[in-house]
C-alpha cells in the first residue's frame, strides 16, 4: 500500500465532479486500500477520490475512536437514496481544509447504496456521525466542500487563511509526517 498526497483547498480539482467507476477491479481495490491507509495516516475519518487527485466516485470512512477496533467502509459509486426528516449539526473539518472547522447542518440519518470492494451492491442505513461523514465524502464526489454549506463570510475567511497558509507552505505534508512517524528509531 502507499500513502497518497492529499490535495488542499483552494485547488480547482476539489470542485470537479467525479466520474462513476465502471468496474470494481484490482486497481480500484488497490486505490481504496491506499486511500484508507492515507486517511489513517492523516488522522482522518473519511476521504474521497477527488481529495487525492482521483476523479472517481470512491470514498473510505471509519469513524471509530483510537481505542476501538477499526471498522472501515469502502464505498464505490455511493448514492444517498433516502434521508431522515430530522437534521443535526456537527462541527465538520476536512483533510483538504486542514485545521479549519465549521458547523454544518445535514440530515441526521441516511440510506446509502454503493458497491463494496468486491463489486457487490450494498445498502447501509447510517445515523448521526456516520451519516454526516458519508454525506461529507459524497459531497466531495460532487465538487462540494463543507465550507460551501456555511455562510459566505465564514467560507471566505477559511479560504483566505488556506490561501495564505499555502503561500507560506504552512500546510502539513501528511505523507512526510507519516513516514517520519513510521521511521525506525
Residue 130 has what pLDDT? 97
Look at residue 66 in the predicted model and tell me its pLDDT. Answer: 83
Query: Is the pLDDT assigned to residue 181 strictly greater than 70?
Result: no
Burial per residue of 50-84, b for 16 or more beta-carbon CB atoms within 10 angstroms, e otherwise: bbbebebbbbbbbbeeeeeeeebbbbbbbebeebb
End-to-end CA distance of the chain: 22
* Domain boundaries, given as residue ranges, for the chain: 12-169
- The C-alpha atoms of residue 72 and residue 86 are separated, in whole angstroms, by 26
Q: Tell me what the mean pLDDT of segment 148-164 comes to.
A: 82
Higher pLDDT residue, 158 or 33?
Answer: 33
- Per-residue pLDDT of 56-68, as tens digits, reads 999 999 999 988 9
CATH code of the domain made up of 12-169? 3.90.45.10
- Tell me, what's the pLDDT at 53? 96
Residues annotated as catalytic are: 137
pLDDT of residue 67: 86
- Are the CB atoms for 125 and 110 separated by under 8 Å? yes
What is the tens place of the pLDDT at every residue in 103-133? 999 999 999 999 999 999 999 999 999 999 9
Task: Go through the chain and tell me how many residues it has.
Answer: 185
pLDDT category at 179 given cuts 50, 70, 90 is very low
Lowest mean pLDDT among 6-15, 94-103, 153-162, 167-176: 167-176
Question: What is the chain's mean pLDDT, rounded?
Answer: 89
Amino acid at each position: 500500500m502507499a500513502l497518497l498526497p492529499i490535495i488542499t483547498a483552494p485547488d480547482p480539482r476539489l470542485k470537479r465532479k467525479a466520474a462513476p467507476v465502471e468496474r470494481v477491479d484490482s486497481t480500484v481495490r488497490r486505490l481504496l486500500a491506499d486511500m484508507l491507509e492515507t486517511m489513517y495516516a492523516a488522522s482522518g475519518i473519511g476521504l474521497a477520490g477527488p481529495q487525492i487527485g482521483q476523479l472517481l466516485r470512491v470514498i473510505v470512512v471509519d469513524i471509530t475512536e483510537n481505542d476501538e477496533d477499526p471498522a472501515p467502509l469502502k464505498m464505490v459509486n455511493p448514492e444517498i437514496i433516502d434521508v431522515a426528516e430530522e437534521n443535526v449539526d456537527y462541527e465538520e473539518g476536512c483533510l483538504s481544509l486542514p485545521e479549519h472547522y465549521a458547523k454544518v447542518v445535514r440530515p441526521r440519518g441516511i440510506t446509502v447504496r454503493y458497491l463494496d470492494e468486491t463489486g457487490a451492491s450494498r445498502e447501509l442505513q447510517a445515523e448521526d456521525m456516520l451519516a454526516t461523514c458519508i454525506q461529507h465524502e459524497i459531497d466531495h464526489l460532487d465538487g462540494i466542500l463543507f465550507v460551501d454549506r456555511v455562510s459566505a463570510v465564514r467560507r471566505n475567511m477559511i479560504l483566505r487563511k488556506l490561501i495564505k497558509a499555502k503561500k507560506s507552505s504552512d500546510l502539513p505534508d501528511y505523507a512526510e509526517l507519516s513516514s517520519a512517524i513510521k521511521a525506525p528509531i
